[in-house]
Amino acid sequence: MCGIGGYFQYKSIFNRNHLHSMSDAMIHRGPDFTGYFHDEKVGLVHNRLSIIDLSSRANQPLTSNDGRYLMVYNGEVYNFKELAGQFRIETKTTSDSEVVLELFLKRGVEFANLLNGMFVIAIYDKEEERLFLFRDRVGIKPVFYYLTDDAFVFASELKALQAALPSDWLQIEPTSISQYLHLGFISAPQTIYKNIYKLSPGEMAIVDKNGMSKRKWWSAEEKIHKEYLTDEQEVFKRLENAVNSAVQSRLVSDVPIGTFLSGGIDSSLVSAIASKHFNEKLQTFTIGFDHVKHNEAEFADKVAKHIESDHNLYYVTDDQARELLPEIISHYDEPFADTSAIPTMLVSQMAKQKVTVTLSGDGGDELFMGYGSHVWAKRLNAPKTKLLAPVYRNLLKLGSSRHRRVAGLFENSIDKNAHIFSQEQYFFSQRELAKLLRNDLNPFIPSYEIIKRQMMPSEKQAFFDFKYYLPDDLLVKVDRDSMRYALETRVPLLDYRVVELALNIHPQLKLKNGDSKYLLKKLLFKHVPASLFDRTKQGFSVPLMQWMNGPLKEWFDTYLSDEVIRKHELLNLSEVQKLRKQFESPKYAFLYNRLWSIAALHAWMEKNG
């Protein structure tokens, strides 16, 4: 796990000093060694976090055995030993990096299909003067790039590009503001800046004298079959084998390893299986809150006792949340409204004191229908509900905060899946944004490739989450927060074998008789008693509403003030004032996340705008 960056230029703009600036900006990702390559056309930089083969022989940039290719690489490939044997790759190190580069020599760009892991790989062909860039299938590892007629510049984090590019090249992209306020994040390929983009999951780019071209090397849509897998016994056996193999392969490390354990289904499953394959007592890590509604620490403790892990529990205080908030805003480089970044950063900081690698349970909800939005998608697509939607909406608007929040789900919308997501996450609907934004609304509409079968409503909602929420929010959070402390986090449930299997399992084996994540729970209960999970799903959330009226009130008042809203000219002041006034009433308590998203946006603008 590392931080990488570089450039391919058509005019003489960048040099070694720019590489140093990029490296300094993301040194937290790889503090063990920094390596450089540069000539008149190309520059590469690599900040190394040593995980496998801790020797200097595995430092990067890495040169191929024939001397033609250079590589910088962020991530891990878990099947590198098998690939080395299969393709008779002779190695001088015990690192996966050497296998990855030599496999590219043997198979060309198709090599990516053979890799099981999380990665962004940059390979430069010195002979052809051509740069190749690959991002993993699901988007676990990030990469950003700046593109104009003058240069192509890339890096693991936006802050590295901010450090290398002239400030007048960093111009705000207005359409990203509306997307952020609707979803809470900015989805690939967009970023907050013009001319800076994210390489999408499963995508590759080739840069040479003719410019840049992109194409998909892996597509989730292409992996969806025409027919569902419906045999529960057969599917369960395949799932069990895939998950066991995924967890076991991610326990390979030359440094200490542990797991994040929230006490929920996914992290408990990963931790339970890991504890059985781990030679030592497994380290598990949990964050707790003093606010009972948001505290799952006691459940995590029960799981930890059952699997006999060495459990580490850390409670978040209100003062710590207040102190960490400015760092969260700064560290994410672009507006980001997921407040669970706070406990994720704190649990990463705690884990780093004992381990260098952790496993997390991310991906289970998206692949196996674990969210309330998946149930709502089914309800809202029922013919009777469609017919009576206006009636339901008007009646619900007369009720409590909870009823008023639900009323938003019955609004008409350009895209139903994005709308359901935004309302379940308590963000702005497109109708609300039309009033709030000063610039014209640019509605967010998801884009899908051709899918071989007609998806059921709940399945399509889950696929929306897999394609957008997972890579552009959840995995962003895991990457930034863990790498902030040079902690590598691996996600077994996003092993491509698990993903491609899950995409074809019939929805009735995921959401069965109202029981979400049915098959995943069935697998978990082979390892941990079902009685430990007889409770309502809570999720990894924070007591934001209480903080807004308590320890963070001064912070919110600052970034929701008339002065700050007027200064940046993004939103209609009267609408912000109206929201703040409504929030004073208990009937509008659900507006807290909308106000948070506005405050976080303006805190970011104060620093970067």
**Per-residue tokens: 271:** 């931790």
Q: Supply the angle between the helices 341-352 and 318-331 in degrees, to the nearest 10.
A: 100
Yes or no: say if 522 and 505 are a contact pair by the CB < 8 Å rule.
no
- pLDDT digits over 131-187, tens only? 999 999 999 999 999 999 999 999 999 999 999 999 999 999 999 999 999 999 999
The string of DSSP codes covering 238-280 is HHHHHHHHHHHHTT--SS-EEEE--SSHHHHHHHHHHHHH-SS
Task: Give the burial string for 29-66 (b: 16+ CB within 10 Å, else e).
Answer: bbeeebbbbbeebbbbbbbbbbbbbeeeebbbbbebee
Report the range of poorest mean pLDDT among 498-507, 533-542, 543-552: 533-542
Q: Could you give all domains of the chain from N- to C-terminal order, each with its CATH number?
A: 2-218 (3.60.20.10), 222-320+336-368+466-533 (3.40.50.620)
- pLDDT digits over 177-215, tens only? 999 999 999 999 999 999 999 999 999 999 999 999 999
pLDDT at 53: 61
The mean predicted confidence, pLDDT, of the chain is 93
Cβ-based neighbours of 88, under 8 Å, separated by 6 or more? none
pLDDT at 136: 98
pLDDT at 538: 59
pTM of the model: 0.95
- Please give the average per-residue pLDDT across 419-434, as a whole number: 96
| pLDDT grade for 409, boundaries at 50, 70 and 90 | very high
- Please give the average per-residue pLDDT across 120-139, as a whole number: 98
* Distance in angstroms (rounded) separating the CA atoms of residues 462 and 468: 10
pLDDT exceeds 90 at position 257: yes
pLDDT at 537: 63
**Per-residue tokens: 130:** 């051509």
Yes or no: say if 283 and 259 are a contact pair by the CB < 8 Å rule.
yes
- Please give the average per-residue pLDDT across 17-44, as a whole number: 94
Alpha helical stretches, state H, 354-400? 364-368, 372-380, 383-396
For tokens 């970011």, the residue is 604
**H or E stretch including 566?**
helix 562-568
Kindly report the backbone phi and psi dihedral angles of residue 360, in degrees, each rounded to the nearest multiple of 5, phi listed first: -125, 170
Query: Amino acid identity of 376?
Result: W
The string of DSSP codes covering 399-448 is S-HHHHHHHGGGS--S-HHHHHHHHHTT---HHHHHHHBSSPP-------
Q: For residue 512, give the DSSP letter.
A: B
**Closest among 513, 536, 534, 538 to 525, alpha carbons compared:** 534
